[in-house]
């Protein structure tokens, strides 16, 4: 039996992470998908670090070159792992790849904005603000990937979320 939070809990704003995932729909399947998404993120970040250290410390490449190479490889690996394992997406690959790239540009922008506000405006310690930004970006990118980048079969997933249908000319 699936558990959904009581309406009074939702109304009072007392939702935890798992409650929020259940409200996204899909129950236990959504939680499993989110856990796979987190595993892909952790695994690819460790992979990127291994490439970076291998290139910079092992091969003697400059740090910025090492970071660029490692990040590019990690981005492609992360896309493939999220597409085929975390979200089990079989739809339009090139469109999903472009949306995936856009979601990460948006994620960077959100993290930069949170860091700017937290550190430069509110004078909070950067070491804590960056963790808060990472958490926000992780949750936001998951929602984007679930509903826009890798939409489930049967959903529109056409980028017109919330917009009316536009008739096509034949």
pLDDT of amino acid 20: 57
Is 67 a member of any domain?
yes
Same domain, 149 and 108: yes
Is 8 a member of any domain?
no
Q: Among 52, 69, 88, identify where a domain stops.
A: 88
CA 34: distance to chain centroid? 10
Range of the domain at 140: 92-157
Is 13 a member of any domain?
no
> How many angstroms separate the first and last alpha carbons of the chain?
47
Q: What is the largest CA-CA distance in the chain?
A: 59
Same domain, 98 and 144: yes
Q: Among 88, 106, 138, identify where a domain stops.
A: 88
Q: Among 73, 88, 103, identify where a domain stops.
A: 88
Q: What's the CA gap between 100 and 89, in Å, rounded?
A: 13
Is 146 a member of any domain?
yes
Same domain, 107 and 123: yes
Is 77 a member of any domain?
yes
Write out the chain's pLDDT in tens, 170 residues. 333 444 444 445 555 555 555 555 667 888 999 999 999 999 999 999 999 999 999 999 999 999 999 999 999 999 999 999 999 999 999 999 999 999 999 999 999 999 999 999 999 999 899 899 999 999 999 999 999 999 988 666 544 333 334 455 55
Which ranges in 54-125 belong to alpha helices (H)? Answer: 63-81, 93-115
Same domain, 78 and 58: yes
Same domain, 75 and 106: no
Same domain, 116 and 83: no
Count of domains for the chain: 2
Is 10 a member of any domain?
no
CA 89: distance to chain centroid? 15
């Amino acid at each position: 039996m699936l558990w959904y939070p009581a309406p009074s809990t939702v109304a009072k704003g007392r939702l935890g992470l798992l409650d929020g995932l259940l409200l996204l729909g899909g129950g236990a399947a959504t939680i499993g998908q989110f856990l796979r998404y987190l595993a892909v993120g952790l695994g690819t970040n460790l992979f990127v670090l291994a490439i970076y250290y291998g290139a910079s410390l092992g091969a003697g490449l400059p740090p910025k070159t090492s970071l660029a190479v490692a990040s590019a490889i990690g981005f492609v690996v992360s896309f493939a792992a999220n597409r085929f394992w975390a979200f089990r997406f079989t739809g339009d690959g090139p469109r999903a790849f472009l949306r995936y790239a856009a979601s990460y540009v948006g994620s960077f922008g959100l993290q930069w904005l949170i860091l700017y506000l937290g550190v430069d405006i509110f004078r909070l310690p950067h070491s804590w603000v960056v963790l808060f930004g990472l958490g926000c970006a992780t949750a936001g990118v998951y929602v984007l990937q679930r509903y826009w980048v890798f939409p489930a079969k049967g959903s529109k997933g056409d980028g017109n979320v919330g917009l009316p249908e536009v008739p096509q000319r034949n």
